[in-house]
Structure 1
Amino acid sequence: MRKNRLSITWAPFYASLAVISALGLFIGIFWTINEYQAYKESIDNIINNYNNQYQSRVREEVNSATDYIHYSLQEELAQAEEDIRKRGQVAYTVASHIYSLYKNEKDIAELRKMVTEILRPIRWNDGQGYYFAGRIDTGTMDLFADEPILEGKGSKEIISLTGVDIMGMAQEIIQKKGAGLFSYDLLKPNYPGRIYFKRAFVKYFPPFDWFIGAGVYRNDSSYLVQDDAIKQLQNMTFGDGGEIFIFRFNGTIICSRDEKLLGRSITSLKDSKQHLYGEELWRAGVEGAQEGFVTYSGYRKGGDLPRQKLSYVRAYPELGWVIGASSYMEEMEQAIAAETETYQRISFRNVFMFIVLFVVAVILLLFSTYFYSLKIQRGVQSFTNFFRGAADSNEKVEQNELEFIEFEDLAKLANQMVDERIQNEKLLHKDELRLDTLLGLSMMDTSIQDKYDFILERIVQITDSDQGYIALVNENQSYTTLCAYVAAKRQRPQLNNEIHLSAPIAEGGLMARAVLKRDAILDNNCRLIGARDVYPYHAIPHRHLDVPVYNNGKIVMVAGVCNSSSKYNQSDIRQIKMLLEGMWMHVLKKCAEEENSRLEKQIISVSEEERSAIGRDLHDDLCSHLTGVELLSKVLHQKLEKEDSSQIKQIGTIRDLIRDAIDKTRRLSHGLYPVHIVEYGLKSAIEELVVEVKNMFRVNCLLEFQGNTEEVNSETVIHLHYAIREAVFNAARHGHPQNIYIDVRFDENFFIQVRDDGCGFQEGHYRKGLGFYTMEYRAKMMGAQLNINSEPNNGTTVTISGMVD
């Protein structure tokens, strides 16, 4: 009924609201997608237009730089050719003049020599230009001012020295044109491995049957032109931060406005996103079509934000260069930003209009649904007010915020579940803290007093109290002894009393009340006013809890807390009682362990005394009697030697058995009675043990003894001797070794090791024998550590180590 009435009241409104909301959402999504696509198309159009402009611009700059370099090289070549033509004509004029002056006085050979000596020292172009001349008929070089070693050589010899047929090229030009230019690469004899590019001009001189020429090195002049071109291009700028850069085919940068980049490899350059754009530039310039565009981001000089940058590179194979131009694309970014701002402005305006229209539609919807639901609302309102008035005032869920009446009962149940869950979580936390306390108590290696303090601190923490105490109760239940106390952080008005460790029941305050009542005292409205009433507290508590703990029907301990932030309850009593019972069991366990340790020590002591007594009896009584019997048998043996020789052999056998009995009795007494250890020392006793083991078990036993035992406690020495004896005899009897090694060291600590090369055993088997427990007890008595390591077929090692008393 309630669900139907509420659903009829509000269903038209929510249905209409859902429809208009969904319609608005769908229209908004469609409009957003459409606007975004239009925005993307506009941005893509801007990017394409600007990319075309920037690409054309940087390509034009690279073309201009390439044309400039090409023009500079051609201009230098033309100037060089014109210069050597003039120089060659000068040489021709000099030869003609000499010939006209002395042709009637000297023969041709002398005239050739005169001209040769005149032309030889002449140089130009910083020493790079020189003259040469040779005979046409014999093919012999008469003059080569730059390389005199070639003079007098024929064509074949010159080829072998320089790698080029200079005579052949000159003769070919003379035969075809009479004069002309030619180029060649010269390998100088004095500079093996180096090639020099040369340009030369030759002209035929008929009187001497000579070709006279002028030559010049092209390397240096070409490098000068290249350097000049690089300097010019390095200072060139264009557009928005545009620059020209050049790098060789191997990647070395030779031209850049940033002088820090000169000499670096282009492949190592990274942009602001750590992208290796330099490697892309190098690949575009040297691979495939040897040209291409690369886009990356970079920082403008003085700027703090990265800007997009476009570069175009193209190879110049004649020089082994890659020429490139780069320019920032900031105008494109600004255009994109402007377009984005325009679209944002338009979108904001459209969104605003859409919201206005949507609000108008919602208002119309509210008015239309209001009139349809008004009558139903009046009929349901009375029931709604009734249920709301009947709700619990302590509810966690606000009823005014509920949309449907069906949720009221659910809200009530939910709030009750919340309260129960909060309470259960508190109890669970207390249980966890209690278990953690007992676990920590079992792991603490401190005094009983520290454990009392630890338990009390946890009790105060679990009960969220301000103060607390733990007191022990004597056997007669007449006295209490305070063993732990936690003072308050914020004291109430003080009473004139002091805390005493022990107090009779009559003056025991809150502790005595719990003992007398023999049950827990829970008081959340404390009315105590006397000093004796609040003992052991200094101030009047406004609430307190005191819990006794029983053991065998008697109260052995009382713990109390006071001034909790909330009221105490039975859960606090249970937590305190379980903690105290756990602590008391721990105390009893520790006391039992201490008693067991004392009894073990007493057992060992009694055992030692009995062993010593038996050893003394064997040594003093039995050995003496056996010695007397042996002496009598000796006298009898001597007497029978004179009377009847047939019984001498039987007497000898009896004497041998008696001597064996004496030796065995002596060894047994030494093993039981440690007088020889005290008198002669541990080393002597172990040496005697070594001899005994060798004789009994036929094994090789080695002893290494270091240090002095004079200052070692005699009781410790005896324990060590018996432990070593037990380990050695166990190794000899059960390990079947070939060798037993005993290592004894004494300094500030002692270290004993007995190891053998016998059969060994599985880990843990040694714990089943009485010998292990005996050695373990002795190590415990000395405060030493016992370790036994063994593996099958790898022997056994027994180690005892500890501090010297």
Structure 2
Amino acid sequence: MRRKPKLSLSSAPFYVSILVIIALGAFVGLFWSLHEYQAYQASIDNIRGNYQSLYRQRVRGEISRLVDFIEFERTQAYAETEDEIRQKVQTAHTIASHMYRFYGDELTSETLRAMVAEILRPIRWQNGKGYYFAGLVSDARLELFADDPYFEGKELSIHTDQRGNPFFAGIIELVVEKGAGVIHFDLEKPAFPGRYFSTYGFVKYFAPFDWFIGAGLDIEDTQTLLREEVLSRMRDLRDGGVEVFAFRDDGTIISYDDEIMVGRSIREVFDDAGAASGALMLAAATGPEKEGFLGYRGTGRDSSQSGRRLAFVKTYDEWGWIIGAAIGMDAMERAIASETATYRQISFRNVAAFVVLFIIAVGLLLYSSYVYSRKIKAGLILFTDFFRAAADSNIKIDRQALVFAEFEELGVLANQMVEDRVTKERRLMRNELRLDTLLRLGAMDKRSLQDIYDFIVQRAVLISGSRRGYLAMVNSNQRYLSLCGYVDEQRADSHSRLPHNITRAVDEGGLPALAVQRGRPLVCNDCAIPAHQTFPYQRTGDYHCDVPLLDGGRVVLVVGVAGGGEPYQEADVRQLTLLVEGMWLHVQRMCAEEEMARLERKIIAVSEEERNTIGRDLHDDLGSHLSGVALLSKALHKKLETESPERAAQLGAIRTLIQEAIEKTRRLSRGLYPVHVVEQGLAAALEELAHEAEQLFVVRCTLEIADICQGLDPHIAAQIYFIAREAVFNAGRHGAPKRIDIILACTAEGGSVQVIDDGCGFDEKDGKKGLGLHSMHYRARAIGATLNIVSPRHGGVSVHMSWER
């Protein structure tokens, strides 16, 4: 079969250059297009931003001018009103002065006040809205209130405005301090309950009568006229493309471009896109800022200006109005369309220039690629001949004979390949050394922890190719660390190993402390270590690697090496991590086995001591008494054989029972053997245990047997009984329960026993320290059973043990 000719490496750059040039052209074109598009978008955004700013200034300025007009008109109205009522008060003051001058010597002050009051009472102005009022300063009482006589004779302090403030009481303070002044109050008249009339007035003190004389004007009609004038002005402001509208804070429209909408709710206003633009305006004006801008699509007064519009609304609190202005943004859209057309023309010219320049550049690049492809072929021939000669030798490539930098780099890589092979062999040796360390660690069960720590530090130094190393343990609260091992292979004197168990605070622990604080490996190859942070090393200027080991989310130990001939890599971190993980698991297993052996020895010692004590008590006390009873019954039996054979037979039965008791006592005393379990069975023994618990602890103890355990090994039955007994007695002694339930279930495969009480329970952490629980677990392990002890939060204890046959 004829082989398909393959592409030559020397010609590949030429073809690749073609593809690269085309791809580069496409990339440059795409990048240029993207750049032009971004520039276009930036220009559009700039135009849009400028117009938006101008539109915002326009509508905000329109609203500001309208508000200024309203404030000016209100000020003017109040000024005219104040001048008018000042003149009215001055007229009344003049009348009172004349009356006092002509009749002051003939009539009393009270009569004169009454006469002046009756003169002023019928005087009204402003279509009956203006009136006079007067009162005594010393008594704080009204004597004249022409608008509503109801207030005459009343004390000033009892009348309040809608805010609860006494409005007449302020008159006394004003005339006492200043003699005259303007007042403004809201008056609730008896004829109109719940309705307050806004009143603007002026008062002046008349000393001969100890009177304050005032004139008031109900300005509600003035406010209404002023509002109508403002609404008329708003209709006149609709020029220059800006439309002004207004609605109350409850949404009722009071001025709008479309007169049909006046009186309707602003919430019924929708834009051309169907959005609730009116509701959005109301929400913006009633928000925290009480003003806001809103964009929408709508049609202005000129139907040809349909498009995007910008509105600005602002609350005018004094009247409960919301004033708004809207303007069309057609000029902005036209500017954007013009800018788009300009960019299209510029882009077309740029594309044409780019295509021409690209063709010229492609021709030049292709010619250059062909020339250099010939040179590459010559270099490859030289390189191939070199590798043929170097395949069976260890010589390195002479880079001086290479023309191109790439070939020189290949030569570097070829030389580095030999070095990498040596490095990999060294790493393989380190892996073998680590495995050997772990294997030897498994055989160091009889060695002390300090020997293990020293061994691990030595191997860590050896595996990482370092000259110094240490191992430090960290306490549970991560505040202190102890140096447990240190090696310095370059020092042969007594200082090559620091004293063990040097303890320092983490804040002053040097390199191990940094690893603890960071909680991750610390690799430093820049050799810039401050002198106060070099602990446990005695000098600086070395590479160092410090690896913490985490267990349960906290750092338990740190192993570190320093002084390597080469910078430390991630592989060194992995080697050290695997090494200390294996050591930590081994140490944990050793500690667990030692703790288990200690506990078992403790249980066995206590159990043996208890059995010996009970055995001695049974043998020395109960055994002696039973033996004495047996001797007395024997003597009595011999005497009754001659006197009463029938009674002798009965006494013989008693002697038999005594002998059995003696035999059982001996058996118990010899090994504290559970006779009742062996002879009567586990179920009967548990029933006797329930009865005994009721007698001892005054508690209700029930026994539930699902199936009688037959064929059960006596040793297993005895251990089950002892565990159940320990659980029942623990509940009775410590839990103060009202009820204890014992549940026994047996099957052909095994069985289970459960003891449940409703007592106060116990803390499982504290309960693990008790000897009783240890002995129960020990007995369960002795027969290969599983024991679970649970104390729920609501109280009580559940002891469940299951076993297999």
TM-score band, normalised by shorter chain: 0.3 to 0.5
**TM-score normalised by length of structure 2:** 0.40
TM-score normalized by structure 1? 0.40
